[in-house]
Amino acid sequence: MKSIRKSILMSALAVSLLSAAGMAHARDLTIALATEPSSMDPQFHSLTPNIQISETIFDPLVRTDAVAKPIPSLAESWTVNGNVWLFKLRPNVKFSDGSPFTAEDVVFTYARVPKVPNSPSSFNLYLKSIEKVEAVDPLTLRITTDGPSPVLLANLSVVPIMSKKAVSGPAPEGKTTVELNRGDGLIGTGPYKFVSWKRGAEIVLERNLHYWGGRPAWDKVIYRPITKPAARVAALLAGDVDMIENPPTDDLARLEKDTKLHIQKTPSVRVIYIALNQGKDVPAGVSGTDGKNPMTDKRVREALSLAIDRNAIVARIMDGVALPAANLLPYPAFGTSKKYATAPAADLAKARELLAAAGYPKGFTLSLGSPNGRYINDQRIAQSVAAMWANIGVKTNVETMAPPVFFKKRNTYAFSTYLAGWAAATGEMSHPLTSLVLSHDPALGIGTTNWFHYSNTGLDRLVQDASKTQDDGKRSEMLQRAGEMAMSDYAILPLQFELSVWAMKQDVRYGGRSDQLTLAQDITLAK
């Protein structure tokens, strides 16, 4: 009996030694993705799930670090003189097929972007300000913009550089999206190279031996799309995968107690906000106001903001997986004002006073639209906001619906107020200000997501001037002032910033990123 037990022990020991030795040599990394990319073509669809894979296979000219600051990637350094940018490219960089990287590849890449057909969301958006791209010599690139373009670097960071040699082909865009999806022409300079993609099942990458930035940590990186949050958690607990994106908030407390797991929470650049329709006409859903729109009165907007207990929503509904918000980006992101660093506490007495002063002592009725399943716990947040507004006499009818239906109705002004989210891709204030609170003017490309009729010409001018100011110090100061203007006018009511969460095995570490990307090259073995 004893000897049997001994031999079992010995073999267990042997197995564990073997597997430990195996780990020291080589290990694969398996990541469960919340959403599968729609394509492997890095220029087909500007969407986070696509960008995070292409950023691993390819490199952009400039990268952004974990807090959205531009850092060198394929360009080692750059200078700007008015509208002309000069980029010095990194020497001795090779694509994963061994061919050298030169300025011609960059010219080819940027020229391909507008030629990709049927793109559901084109990367053209990021290259709009570019007038000319020229290769001065193999390692020097000159970009001319149509005016001062301080966000150029941030924009270039989402356009990965493809290989001219590998992607050339008979079609106008060279290799087509369908060909790239099969891996044909999918040659990059990034740390991992493409092996295979079985749609719905897995994406496999392996170490790029020609990578310029040192030996990548993993032999193979395998991505498995697991859309159901509960299934992702099960896969992690069962040991099938090393890391998962977005575990459900309800499970977090339990996962954090598990000693075999490590949880990473990182503030994101996504703000969840409530927009108040401030149009001249009475908005849909408003009643009890004698034919007026109460939300054109700043006192009413302030009262609605004061009635919301942001800390309670974060603590009770989000289980702490959010930060209460006072601005459109968390302080100290670029262009955020210190004055709006912490969220205001709820003050029901003052809110009631303000309503009475505005002529609505008995309150009124309005509607609050919300998508159901687009943002974390969106529907439950909308319901608690409605309950909080009811406390000051504003009767709120919550209208939640499937995201496609919600967005369609929102864009026809079908709600008096609505809950939505905004992720500031560039990580600085001009982005949310321009899209959300400037006057809706599609021709100028401002206020494109301002579906609540807010318009303030002073603010419009200030933000547009800031977008043309090259000097970072001045621009930051102008944006801070613009943010203060919008917030003190209660143009829009920020609720909270989502935290991005990753759950991983104890021996794996990922620092997280504010842009919510899961980048395999930044995932390491824990020491």
Q: What is the CA radius of gyration of the chain?
A: 26
Q: How far apart are CB 12 and another protein at their closest, in Å? A: 15
Site string for another protein, 123-152 (x = CB under 8 A): -xx---------------------------
Q: Where are the alpha helices (DSSP H) in 26-156?
A: 48-57, 103-112, 124-127, 152-156
- Interface region with another protein, contact rule CB under 8 A, candidates 99-107, 174-182, 279-287, 385-393: 174-182
Tokens at 163, concatenated = 């290989």
Q: Does 506 bind another protein (CB under 8 A)?
A: no
- Beta carbon nearer to another protein, 363 or 432: 432
Q: Does 422 bind another protein (CB under 8 A)?
A: yes
- Beta carbon nearer to another protein, 33 or 523: 33
Q: Residue 177 half-sphere exposure, CB side, CA atoms within 13 Å?
A: 16
Q: How far apart are CA 346 and CA 310, in angstroms?
A: 7
3-state SS assignment for residue 262: strand
Q: How far apart are CB 229 and another protein at their closest, in Å? A: 11
237 to 296, contacts with another protein by CB under 8 A? 237-240
Q: How far apart are CB 92 and another protein at their closest, in Å? A: 35
Q: Does 445 bind another protein (CB under 8 A)?
A: yes
Torsion of Cα atoms, 456 then 457 then 458 then 461, to 10°: 130
> Could you say which DSSP state residue 499 is in?
E
Bond prior to 332 in cis (omega within 30° of 0): yes
Q: Does 405 bind another protein (CB under 8 A)?
A: yes
Site string for another protein, 201-220 (x = CB under 8 A): xx------------------
Going by C-alpha positions, the residue among 273, 340, 330, 280 that lies closest to residue 304 is: 273
- Beta carbon nearer to another protein, 42 or 393: 42
Q: How far apart are CA 477 and CA 324, in angstroms?
A: 24
- C-alpha angle with apex 331: 327 to 334, nearest 5 degrees? 100
Total binding residues toward another protein, as defined by CB under 8 A = 51
Q: Does 234 bind another protein (CB under 8 A)?
A: yes
- Beta carbon nearer to another protein, 76 or 441: 441
Q: Does 224 bind another protein (CB under 8 A)?
A: yes
- Interface region with another protein, contact rule CB under 8 A, candidates 83-91, 161-169, 192-200, 391-399: 192-200
What residues contact 120, with CB distance under 8 A and at least 6 apart?
A: 38, 44, 45
User: Which helix (H) or strand (E) covers residue 201, if one does?
Assistant: none
Q: What is the DSSP secondary-structure string of 372-437?
A: SSSSTTHHHHHHHHHHHHHHTT-EEEEEEE-HHHHHHHHTTT--SEEEEEEE-TTSBTHHHIIIII
Q: Does 425 bind another protein (CB under 8 A)?
A: yes
Q: How far apart are CB 33 and another protein at their closest, in Å? A: 10
Tokens at 55, concatenated = 């950023």
- Any bridge partners for residue 421, and if so which? 272
In the numeric block, the tokens 């010995």 are attached to 10
Residue-level length of the chain: 527
Q: Which of 403, 469, 481, 505 binds another protein (CB under 8 A)?
A: 403
Q: Does 12 bind another protein (CB under 8 A)?
A: no
Q: How far apart are CA 273 and CA 281, in angstroms?
A: 23
Neighbours of 404 (CB within 10 A): 10
- Interface region with another protein, contact rule CB under 8 A, candidates 98-106, 113-121, 164-172, 275-283: 113-121
Q: How far apart are CA 361 and CA 354, in angstroms?
A: 9
Q: Which of 120, 147, 332, 511 binds another protein (CB under 8 A)?
A: 120
Q: Which of 227, 470, 488, 506 binds another protein (CB under 8 A)?
A: 227
Q: How far apart are CB 158 and another protein at their closest, in Å? A: 10
Q: Does 39 bind another protein (CB under 8 A)?
A: yes
Q: Which of 43, 73, 102, 119 binds another protein (CB under 8 A)?
A: 119
Which positions lie near another protein, rule CB under 8 A? 38-39, 41, 44-47, 117-122, 124-125, 177-178, 181, 198-202, 224-228, 230-231, 234-235, 237-240, 402-405, 407-408, 411, 422, 425, 435, 442-443, 445, 448-449
